[in-house]
Amino acid sequence: MCDDCTLRSTTLHPPSRRSLILGGLAAAGVLAAGLRPTIAAPSHPQGDTVRALAFRNLHTGEELRATYWEDGRYQPEALAEINRVLRDHRTGDVATMEPALLNLLHRLHGILDASRPFHVISGYRSPKSNAALAARSNGVARKSFHMAGMAIDVRLPGRPLKSLHKAALALDGGGVGYYPKSDFIHLDVGPVRRW
């Protein structure tokens, strides 16, 4: 499981009420923990006319290829499909995945010039699932970004995990965790940090 920290939003579109609340909670948590918050780099490539992602959820076996950005705007139907595939596989709970996270994944896929879908270990995680995992492991943050749809744990078939990790770090788009024994990396759109 991943070792991420307190919630923080880094979207580039006008902030929603949810983003403002989460940002306030994150700032309080980051400052209370003595950490220096860092602003992430822009979460999407400039000038993209189409943004698409492909996923294979390793727990449900579901696969999805979706164009989530087209004609200068997010595509609600595609976002809903992504939310469903990245749901909490333990409870079936579906949440809204942060568009900045999708943009980060799109950029990562692009710089690796990959053609295969991301294999998803964990996307959204409900508070109930997160609490159960945190009770069993010190490596699971009690206020995980997964609970806000701001984090994902993935691998990318056809690309060595070290290459995926190095590319994710180069994007400077949030938190990046490296889990070679479990064969995945953690990505989130919280403060820029690495572990």
pLDDT (0 to 100) of residue 142 = 85
pLDDT (0 to 100) of residue 194 = 97
In this prediction the pTM is: 0.77
- Specify the CATH number for the domain of residue 59: 3.30.1380
Which domain range does residue 26 map to?
17-194
Establish if 10 belongs to a structural domain. no
Establish if 9 belongs to a structural domain. no
Establish if 133 belongs to a structural domain. yes
Establish if 4 belongs to a structural domain. no
Establish if 1 belongs to a structural domain. no
For the chain, residues with pLDDT lower than 50 are 1-44
Establish if 3 belongs to a structural domain. no
pLDDT (0 to 100) of residue 46 = 56
pLDDT (0 to 100) of residue 48 = 72
Establish if 12 belongs to a structural domain. no
Q: How would you class 50 by CB atoms within 10 Å of its CB: exposed for 0-12, middle for 13-18, buried for 19 or more? A: exposed
Q: How many domains does the chain have?
A: 1
Establish if 32 belongs to a structural domain. yes
